[in-house]
Amino acid sequence: MNVKALPLLDNISGSISIVGSMNADYTVTAKRLPKPGETIAGGPLRILPGGKSGNQAAAAARIGANVNMFGAVGSDANADFLLGKLNDAGVDTSHVRHADGASGTTVITVDDNGENTIVYSAGSNATVSTDYIESQKDVLLKSSVLGLCLESPIETVTATAKMCHDAGIKVLLNDSPFTDKLPYELVEYSDILLVNEHEMAQLLNIAEPKNGDWLGMDWNYIAQTMHDFGFKQAVVTLGGNGAIVIEEDRTYRVDAAKIEAVDTTGCGDAFMGTLLAGLSSDFSLSDSASLASYVAAYAATSYGAQASYGTSEQIKAFFSKASIPTK
């Protein structure tokens, strides 16, 4: 584990714009995940703030980044709930628009091992238009880094990437919810790609290892294939095995912080938010990913997405006291 990563939490600075989704997460815990057509008993229903982009914004803001959120909430009670939680995390939501109808929602089941299933309903997130993005251009272009995922209309995501890339702003794309049909223009205008190992394999048409040994893959070949696809820089997360950072023809392994996972919901978003925070602070991509491994691991120690994210002080305190070994 990179022991030099945690002190970086004291040096978070810079400005981030995040364009995308905000959802109310309807979450139930159960001993195991249901099979198709099966009804099982679960625990009490909890309504928690979520949405991939909202989560990423909250994670970055909680560790000290200056974050502007762009997107849409609905005209329901969840709108004030979502904006209030983001404001509490330190996110500037003054540029978020209000649309008629329901805000975005997800229905989540979490089992005893911390694994989950998620069903997403876009709601107001589907109304984030290119016209709206154009109206926010002056604010967007004041940031040093842009974060994007795919819970907004793809034409809006692509237009935002182009606007910021052309202005010299670094664009970090999270291909999630995953598609292997990324528009050519979106690839061209995105500087860094974030995917997990399964998404990487599908995107690049690379066979997954039959023995599950992702670390034993030929990552130099993967880096070259990623470059040929259109991304000179990428981060591939490997769950409990950490991550691989790709920069041009070089690869770096980032170890994972070993913790007892309670709920992995939103951990990928915590990783993304921390990458954005690190890049906005002029950290290298590998240092940003090393720091992200700690922040994401901390998020897995309690339930929910935004509800599980820690401040810099909480994260540093947890790992300074933890007797759990790091790999």
Per-residue pLDDT of 228-267, as tens digits, reads 999 999 999 998 899 999 998 899 999 988 888 888 888 9
Express as a percent the part of the chain with pLDDT over 90.
83
- In whole numbers, what is the pLDDT of the chain averaged over residues? 94
Distances in Å between the Cα of 8 and the Cα atoms of 106, 231, 287, 314, 324 are 33, 26, 9, 14, 21
Q: What is the pLDDT of residue 1?
A: 54
CA angle 216–172–284, rounded 5-degree value: 65
Residue 325: pLDDT over 50 = no
Per-residue confidence (pLDDT) for residue 240, from 0 to 100: 87
pTM: 0.92
Q: Taking every pair of C-alpha atoms in the chain, what is the biggest distance, in angstroms?
A: 52
The Cα–Cα gap between 309 and 81 comes to: 17
Percent of the chain past pLDDT 70, that is, above it, reads 97
Looking at residue 75, its pLDDT comes to: 97
How many other C-beta atoms lie within 10 A of the C-beta of residue 231?
22
Residue 324 banded pLDDT, cuts 50, 70, 90: very low
Q: Report the pLDDT value the prediction gives residue 327, as an integer from 0 to 100.
A: 39
* 266 token code pair: 């939103």
**pLDDT at 106 (0 to 100):** 87
Average pLDDT over residues 21-44: 94
Average pLDDT of the segment spanning 269-278: 98
Confidence at residue 263, expressed as pLDDT on a 0 to 100 scale: 83
Least confident window among 23-27, 104-108, 117-121, 208-212: 117-121
Per-residue confidence (pLDDT) for residue 2, from 0 to 100: 58
Mean pLDDT of 163-175: 98
Domains with residue ranges and CATH for the chain:
6-22+51-95+128-321 (3.40.1190.20)
pLDDT band at 321 (very low <50, low <70, confident <90, very high): confident
Kindly report which listed range (21-25, 87-91, 172-176, 319-323) carries the lowest average pLDDT score.
Answer: 319-323
Per-residue pLDDT, 264: 84
What is the per-residue pLDDT across 100-136, written as a single tens digit (0 to 9) for each? 999 999 898 989 887 888 888 999 999 999 999 999 9
The answer to whether the beta carbons of residues 78 and 102 sit under 8 Å apart is yes
Q: Are 49 and 91 in contact (CB under 8 A)?
A: no
HEC-encoded secondary structure of the chain? CCCCCHHHHHHCCCEEEEECCCEEEEEEECCCCCCCCCCCCCCCCEEEEECHHHHHHHHHHHCCCEEEEECEECCCHHHHHHHHHHHHHCCECCCCEECCCCCEEEEEEECCCCCEEEEEECHHHHHCCHHHHHHCHHHHCCCCEEEECCCCCHHHHHHHHHHHHHCCCEEEEECCCCCCCCCHHHHHHCCEEEEEHHHHHHHHCCCCCCCCCHHHCCHHHHHHHHHHHCCCEEEEECHHHCEEEEECCEEEEECCCCCCCCCCCCHHHHHHHHHHHHHHCCCCHHHHHHHHHHHHHHHCCCCCCHHHCCCHHHHHHHHHHCCCCCC
Q: What is the pLDDT of residue 326?
A: 40
Tell me how crowded residue 240 is: count the other CB atoms within 10 A of its CB.
13
pLDDT at 322 over 70: no
Q: What is the pLDDT of residue 248?
A: 87
Taking 60 as the threshold, does the pLDDT of residue 194 lie above it? yes
| CA distance linking residue 215 with residue 222, whole number of Å | 12
C-alpha closest to that of 269 among 214, 307, 319:
307
At 193 the pLDDT is 98
Tell me the backbone φ, ψ of residue 145, rounded to 5 degrees: -140, 145
The radius of gyration of the chain from alpha carbons, rounded to an integer in Å, stands at 19
Q: Rounded to a whole number, what is the distance in angstroms from the first to the last CA of the chain? A: 6
